[in-house]
């Protein structure tokens, strides 16, 4: 592997809303730089970066993919990320490890929801940006209109055009470099070959105006150059580049360029601009990590001879090739056929071969150092979010907070006996997709699969079948209702007596049954006096009550928040037994509950919804219609954060409804809060349905 000094490395990513052309741009870059022999296309399934069958079938990116290439004596690492809400966690995980973000918007498009989201991620991680306006050959494409909207949407970070398109829509044929004052005229064969020409006369006036505005914006980055410009009105190209680089790296401006990825126009100038405007790993500076010995945050400088500090940002699970762990090295170096210390898991891992990746293509290398993004296979303990570090000076990176699952389904195998296989397969998928959650509801017994959205869950099910040969059915989860009592019942008596020849069964128990505060559970009081009931039968009575509580008298849901006082009973020297007293306790409890005004309880969820200001009325109205109680509303920039308590039964299909009400800009999280009584009219429906379900089962 050819060695590159860290100052000759660029780590970049393509980010933006789904369908804006991020992968097409990545494919054009790989073709232009010679990493691919043809221009890969998403629509015909020839893309290097969208290689998973689920991506090829849907023609969208589902997971981030890594590529490497060389350009102008620099090594590039490129992460191409998904832009649809269901898979946006991949973009966040990628934004954390890049040094520059190319924000992609179609020339016929606008600033959409996930563009806002990834722009926010870039702010969160302090990542410099370039705006690439693609699809300039499509109908209604307008470079300056898109730039103006980006300025309006993100006013705190000025967007500065440094190019101008030549031609519009299908007549788009090149770009003008406003700094060099040269025109790039491209051949119309997708080869990417161009001629440098003088600026067309009809565009000269517009170019002069835009260049003047550009220079005025750039000189604000450097006080000395601003003084010079105010005095002389002149700046050299190198001085302009110096201001541009300073402004981009310090995140005080965003250079804007244009092109057509499918026609391979504008790619070389973009790559040149990336070298000029994005920092190298050295320029990005020290990374902050937590010292495991002191618990304090410390800095690791990007030095090849420093202690190893690397972050595992992605895992690819393959049933045949095994697990691939992708990581970025921030400090130190690593050799193939060596041992590495995983400080998060406190374990050593054997490194075999080290690979450079381009999509699913692997290129073995023997060594990796500062700024390298590489992969290793078949590590036993390592998962996404882990840290490789020096064992004597162990450090860890803080976890990336990823979007929470918003939708859940009950999952059942199509073939009997596949439960264990499902659990093992989902664990493997979770390794590469931490936003997927799997659990089992203790009450209903259902396996619950949770994802960020409907498509996310569907993709997981497809992967289960393709990668692990497991087919499953999805259904709406059962709501874990419970039952309790409103009233008290004193002196509940039940006698169990059975004579079948020989030894019989006899037990009599006397209970007082009363309600407990919500959430108190169950309380058993042994209040026996005298010897009517031998004390060795008391545990059997308590066990019988516990069993009876698993299936209530209304609809068979568990009974909670009840106190039973066992104060008397009767026994027989020969016919009494533990089983007899257990059966008597079961029947006495059910009889007492039936007479103590039983009611149905439903789980109430604590819900937090984040929605744009303009949608807040619709969102609150919708929560109210779901029997929700809004607790408070707080402002958060141009968004509002609503906190509410809402019955779980009303939230099972909330995700698509929130999407439609907010144009995909709303998000929510929820967690269990408490149980409350179900309104009478609804309780009747739930009880009737539960009885129907029981009849079907039997």
Percent of the chain residues past pLDDT 90, beyond the cut: 76
pLDDT at 213: 95
Q: Are 342 and 388 in contact (CB under 8 A)?
A: yes
Residue 96 lies in a domain: yes
Helix or strand or coil: residue 596? coil
User: Using 50, 70 and 90 to split pLDDT, how confident is the model at 22?
Assistant: very high
Helix or strand or coil: residue 8? helix
- In terms of Cα–Cα distance, which of 538, 540, 544 is closest to 526? 538
CA distance 371 to 154: 30
pLDDT at 444: 82
Cβ within 8 Å of residue 292, ≥6 positions away: 343, 394, 395, 396
pLDDT at 618: 95
**483 forms bridges with which residues in the sheet?**
559, 600
Task: Assign residue 306 the CATH number of its domain.
Answer: 2.40.30.10
- In terms of Cα–Cα distance, which of 524, 528, 505 is closest to 514? 524
Does the pLDDT of residue 2 top 80, yes or no? no
* Token pair for 302: 């990007």
Does the pLDDT of residue 665 top 90, yes or no? no
User: Using 50, 70 and 90 to split pLDDT, how confident is the model at 45?
Assistant: confident
Q: Are residues 590 and 622 in the same domain?
A: no
Q: Which helix (H) or strand (E) holds 411?
A: strand 407-413
Task: Assign residue 456 the CATH number of its domain.
Answer: 3.30.70.870
pLDDT at 329: 97
Q: Are residues 389 and 415 in the same domain?
A: no
- Please write the tens of the pLDDT for every residue from 475-496: 989 899 999 999 999 999 999 9
Tell me what the mean pLDDT of segment 125-153 comes to: 96
DSSP 324-343: EEEEEEEES-EESSEEEEET
CA distance 681 to 560: 21
Task: Assign residue 79 the CATH number of its domain.
Answer: 3.40.50.300
Q: Are residues 487 and 627 in the same domain?
A: no
Q: Are 615 and 662 in contact (CB under 8 A)?
A: yes
Q: Are residues 52 and 186 in the same domain?
A: yes
- Please write the tens of the pLDDT for every residue from 236-279: 999 999 999 999 999 999 999 999 999 999 999 999 999 999 99
Query: Which has more pLDDT, 231 or 571?
Result: 571
pLDDT at 467: 87
pLDDT at 161: 98
pLDDT at 1: 58
Single residue among 396, 421, 440 that ends a domain in this structure: 396
Single residue among 263, 284, 305 that ends a domain in this structure: 284
Does the pLDDT of residue 19 top 70, yes or no? yes
Does the pLDDT of residue 698 top 70, yes or no? no
Q: Are 440 and 72 in contact (CB under 8 A)?
A: no
Residue 306 lies in a domain: yes
Q: Are residues 445 and 383 in the same domain?
A: no
Q: Are residues 24 and 92 in the same domain?
A: yes
Q: Are residues 140 and 276 in the same domain?
A: yes
SS (H, E, C) 174-202: EEEECCCCEEEEECCCCCCCEEEECCCHH
Residue 213 lies in a domain: no
Average pLDDT, the chain: 93
Tell me what the mean pLDDT of segment 137-160 comes to: 95
Does the pLDDT of residue 319 top 70, yes or no? no
Q: Are residues 265 and 292 in the same domain?
A: no
Residue 161 lies in a domain: yes
Single residue among 396, 426, 441 that ends a domain in this structure: 396
Q: Are 488 and 562 in contact (CB under 8 A)?
A: no
Comparing 331-335, 573-577, 580-584, 629-633, the range with the smallest average pLDDT is 573-577
Q: Are 690 and 555 in contact (CB under 8 A)?
A: yes
pLDDT at 99: 98
- Please write the tens of the pLDDT for every residue from 604-655: 999 999 899 999 999 999 999 999 999 999 988 778 999 999 999 999 889 8
Q: Are 619 and 661 in contact (CB under 8 A)?
A: yes
Query: Structure pTM?
Result: 0.84
Residue 392 lies in a domain: yes
Task: Assign residue 538 the CATH number of its domain.
Answer: 3.30.230.10
Q: Are residues 15 and 119 in the same domain?
A: yes
Q: Provide the number of structural domains found in the chain.
A: 5
Q: Are residues 349 and 419 in the same domain?
A: no
Tell me what the mean pLDDT of segment 173-194 comes to: 95
Q: Which domain holds residue 639?
A: 601-682
Comparing 19-23, 49-53, 413-417, 682-686, the range with the smallest average pLDDT is 413-417
Q: Are residues 366 and 294 in the same domain?
A: yes
Q: Are residues 359 and 412 in the same domain?
A: no
Task: Assign residue 607 the CATH number of its domain.
Answer: 3.30.70.240
Does the pLDDT of residue 73 top 80, yes or no? yes
């Amino acid at each position: 592997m050819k060695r590159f000094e860290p100052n000759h490395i660029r780590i970049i990513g393509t980010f933006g809303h789904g369908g804006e052309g991020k992968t097409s741009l990545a494919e054009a870059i790989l073709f232009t730089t010679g990493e691919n022999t043809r221009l890969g296309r998403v629509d015909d399934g020839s893309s290097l970066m969208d290689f998973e069958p689920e991506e090829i079938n849907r023609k969208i990116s589902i997971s981030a993919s890594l590529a490497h290439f060389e350009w102008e004596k620099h090594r590039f690492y490129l992460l191409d990320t998904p832009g649809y809400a269901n898979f946006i966690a991949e973009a966040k995980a990628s934004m954390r490890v890049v040094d520059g973000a190319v924000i992609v918007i179609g020339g016929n498009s606008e600033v959409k929801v996930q563009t806002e989201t990834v722009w926010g991620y870039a702010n969160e991680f302090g990542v410099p940006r370039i705006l690439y306006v693609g699809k300039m050959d499509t109908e209604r494409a307008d470079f300056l209109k898109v730039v103006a909207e980006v300025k309006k949407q993100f006013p705190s970070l000025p967007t500065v055009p440094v190019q101008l398109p030549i031609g519009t829509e299908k007549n788009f044929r090149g770009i003008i470099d406003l700094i060099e004052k040269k025109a790039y005229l491209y051949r119309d064969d997708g080869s990417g070959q161009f001629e440098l020409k003088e600026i067309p006369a009809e565009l000269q006036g517009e170019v002069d105006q835009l260049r003047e505005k550009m220079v005025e914006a750039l000189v604000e980055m450097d006080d000395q150059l601003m003084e010079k410009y105010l005095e002389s009105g002149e700046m050299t190209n190198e001085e302009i580049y110096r201001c541009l680089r300073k402004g981009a790296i310090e995140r005080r401006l965003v250079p804007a360029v244009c092109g057509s990825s499918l026609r391979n126009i504008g790619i070389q100038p973009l790559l040149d601009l990336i070298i000029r405007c994005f920092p190298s790993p050295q320029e990005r500076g020290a990374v902050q990590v937590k010292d495991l010995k002191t618990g304090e945050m410390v800095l690791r400088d990007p030095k090849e001879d420093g202690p190893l500090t690397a972050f595992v940002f992605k895992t690819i699970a393959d049933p045949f090739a095994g697990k691939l762990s992708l990581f970025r090295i921030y400090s130190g170096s690593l050799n193939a056929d060596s041992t590495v210390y995983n400080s998060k898991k406190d374990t050593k891992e054997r490194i075999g071969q080290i690979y450079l990746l381009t999509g699913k293509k692997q290129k073995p290398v023997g060594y990796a150092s500062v700024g390298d993004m590489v992969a290793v296979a078949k590590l036993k303990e390592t998962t996404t979010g882990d840290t490789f570090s020096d064992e004597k000076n162990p450090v860890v990176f803080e976890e990336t907070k990823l979007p929470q699952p918003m939708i859940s389904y009950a999952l059942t195998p199509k073939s009997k006996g596949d439960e264990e296989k499902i659990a093992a397969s989902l664990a493997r998928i979770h390794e590469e997709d931490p936003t997927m959650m799997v659990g089992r509801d203790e009450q209903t017994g259902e396996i619950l699969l949770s994802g960020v959205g409907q498509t996310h869950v569907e993709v997981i099910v497809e992967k289960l079948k393709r990668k692990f040969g497991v087919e499953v059915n999805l259904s709406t989860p059962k709501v874990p209702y419970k039952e309790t009592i409103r009233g008290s019942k004193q002196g509940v008596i039940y006698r169990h007596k059975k004579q079948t020849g020989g030894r019989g069964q006899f037990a009599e128990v006397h209970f007082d049954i009363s309600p407990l505060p919500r959430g108190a559970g169950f309380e058993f009081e042994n209040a026996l006096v005298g010897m009517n009931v031998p004390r060795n039968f008391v545990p059997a009575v308590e066990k019988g009550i516990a069993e009876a509580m698993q299936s209530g008298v209304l609809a068979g849901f568990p009974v909670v928040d009840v106190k039973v006082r066992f104060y008397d009973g009767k026994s027989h020297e020969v016919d009494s037994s533990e089983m007899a007293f257990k059966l008597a306790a079961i029947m006495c409890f059910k009889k007492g509950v039936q007479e103590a005004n039983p009611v149905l309880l439903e789980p109430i969820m604590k819900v937090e919804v984040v929605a744009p200001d303009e949608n807040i009325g619709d969102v609150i109205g919708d929560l109210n219609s779901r029997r929700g109680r809004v607790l408070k509303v707080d402002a958060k920039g141009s968004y509002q954060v609503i906190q509410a308590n809402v019955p779980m039964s009303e939230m099972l299909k909330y995700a698509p409804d929130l999407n439609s009400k907010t144009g995909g800009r709303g998000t929510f999280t929820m967690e269990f809060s408490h149980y409350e009584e179900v309104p009478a009219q609804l309780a009747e429906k739930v009880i009737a349905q539960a009885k129907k379900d029981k009849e079907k089962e039997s």
